[in-house]
Amino acid sequence: MRIDLPVLEGKFLRRYKRFFTDVELPDGSVVVAHCPNTGSLKTCLEEGRPAILRDTQDPERKLRHVFQSIRVGKTWVNVDTSLPNQATYEHVVAGQIPELKGYAEAKREVKYGVNSRIDLLLTGAKGERCWVEVKNTTYALDGAAAFPDAVTERGRKHLEELAAQVRLGDRAVQFFFVSRDDVARFRPAQEIDPAYAAALRVAAKAGVELLAYAHSVTPNSLEVARRLPIDLD
């Protein structure tokens, strides 16, 4: 997935009130940018790390710039939760996710469950359906990507709704979009949200398929890197 809007590189200073970030540009000026991520961004935010801002080019926005990614070591990490859904759609349509190939149609944001929208609904030529929920994953520890980075009741609700679709005879997939390429495996973040970790194991036993893919992140793109093994223990 290409990101066509112009970007600026600066130095991350701080995040505050959840949705605000201060980033210092090379000329010494400080830009207040929107942080499109409600999680904790644990292991990502450290003062002084290189950061990428996306210029929306919209002068009507309260905050014209969006905090898009931050560099951890040598690796860029995407923190913008609005990008993985579009990227996954593009990658699936292009046949870059082997486990999700072969469907005739792909639709985004389809209503289902209780006041929910599925990120991606795949429909086969004979009407078979696959419901795909995408979760942006930025948290990593000891070489493993982990989700979530904050307690998420909404995430548990999504797992229950996916399991309900399996009971109806459909296919359902929880897709972990790992927004970094410096990890070797994926696991639930038991230490942060044990209830979610337990719900993930229950969903897997109920037939919900779990996929985790690491992605190569640059200031201008998000590309599929490789599938990660999943450790539910």
CA distance 149 to 98: 27
Question: Cα–Cα distance between 190 and 188 in angstroms, integer?
Answer: 6
181, part of any domain: yes
Based on the domain organization, do 130 and 60 belong to the same domain? no
Whether residue 131 is found in the same domain as residue 185: yes
Q: Per the domain annotation, does 140 fall within a domain?
A: yes
Q: Are 143 and 157 members of one domain?
A: yes
φ/ψ of 90, rounded to 5, equals: -65, -40
Do 131 and 181 lie in one domain? The reply is: yes
Residue 233 lies inside a defined structural domain of this protein: no
User: What tokens were used for 69?
Assistant: 């990614």
Element (H, E) at 88: helix 83-93
Residue 2 falls inside a structural domain: no
Position 220 in a domain: yes
Q: What is the pLDDT of residue 179?
A: 98
Q: What is the pLDDT of residue 113?
A: 79
CATH of residue 111's domain is 3.40.1350.60
Structural domain includes residue 1: no
> What pLDDT is attached to residue 112?
87
**Domain finish residue from 43, 61, 77:** 77
19 in the same domain as 65:
yes
Domain boundaries, position 134: 83-227
Considering the domain architecture, whether residues 151 and 203 belong to the same structural domain is answered as yes
What's the rounded Cα separation, in Å, for the pair 4 and 135?
Answer: 23
Q: Does the bond joining 36 to the residue before it have cis omega, within 30 degrees of 0? A: no
Does 111 reside within a domain?
yes
- Of 56, 77, 98, the residue that ends a domain is 77
Query: 94 and 58 share a domain?
Result: no
Number of independent structural domains in the chain: 2
Residue ranges, the chain, pLDDT below 50:
none
In this structure, which long-range contacts are made by residues 105-114, counting pairs with CB atoms below 8 Å and at least 24 apart in sequence? 112/161, 112/165, 113/157, 113/158, 113/161, 113/164, 114/157, 114/161
CA 5 from chain centre, in angstroms, equals 20
Q: Do residue 22 and residue 58 come from a single domain?
A: yes
Determine, yes or no, domain membership for 30: yes
Q: Are residues 128 and 210 in the same domain?
A: yes
Do 169 and 155 lie in one domain? The reply is: yes
Task: Tell me, yes or no, whether 117 and 188 share the same domain.
Answer: yes
Of 23, 28, 27, 26, the C-alpha closest to 64 is 23
Write out the two tokens for 83: 């990008």
Q: CATH code at 38?
A: 2.40.50.580
For the stretch 79-125, pLDDT in tens is 999 999 999 999 999 999 999 999 999 999 999 878 889 999 999 99
Same domain, 52 and 123: no
**Residue 115 has what pLDDT?**
81
Cβ-contact 148, 139 below 8 angstroms: yes
> Where a domain ends, among 77, 110, 128?
77
